Amino acid sequence: MSYLSARRSRDPISAAHQQITVEWWRRRHLDFDIFTSEVVVAEARLGDPVAARLRLDTLHGIPLLEVTEPARSLAEAIIQSTVLPREAFPDALHIAIATTHELDYLLTWNCAHIANAEILPRIALLCDDLGFALPYICTPEELIGDTYAH
């Protein structure tokens, strides 16, 4: 959500991610049932108060997924498996919330700990061992659809 509501970045990569996010929101968000979580809302509150207000306004009205005990347990299992470091518990929790609520997709620009092609197979295997199906985790760029059809 931060890319959707942020001031235009001067960093070219961040600016590109912002543009892709805005384009995805404009063209595709109505094609999906969109959810957020208490963890996202808590993260949106951080930092500059004006920017935080814009992020929270963007999240307003999006159904909120609660952090359940199964989600907390799965996040802890992800950390315990050493797939992610302890300090990445919030990222493990994002994955676990989407997984335990049986979402189809988890959309993120966090490629360090969430949309990471090297660690996702290990997280998927762990989820499978625990009886969960990992959602398809990707960036907005991967889920923007056929750019020539719109």
Residues 6+ apart with CB under 8 A from 25: 4
CA 19 to chain CA centroid, nearest Å = 17
Look up residue 111 and give its two tokens. Answer: 């490629």
- pLDDT for 142 equals 93
Q: What is the pTM of this model?
A: 0.89
Identify which has the larger pLDDT, 105 or 83: 105
Q: How far apart are CA 46 and CA 69, in angstroms?
A: 24
| 87 phi, psi to nearest 5 deg | -70, -10
CA pair distance 90, 43, nearest whole angstrom: 9
Tokens of 59: 């999240």
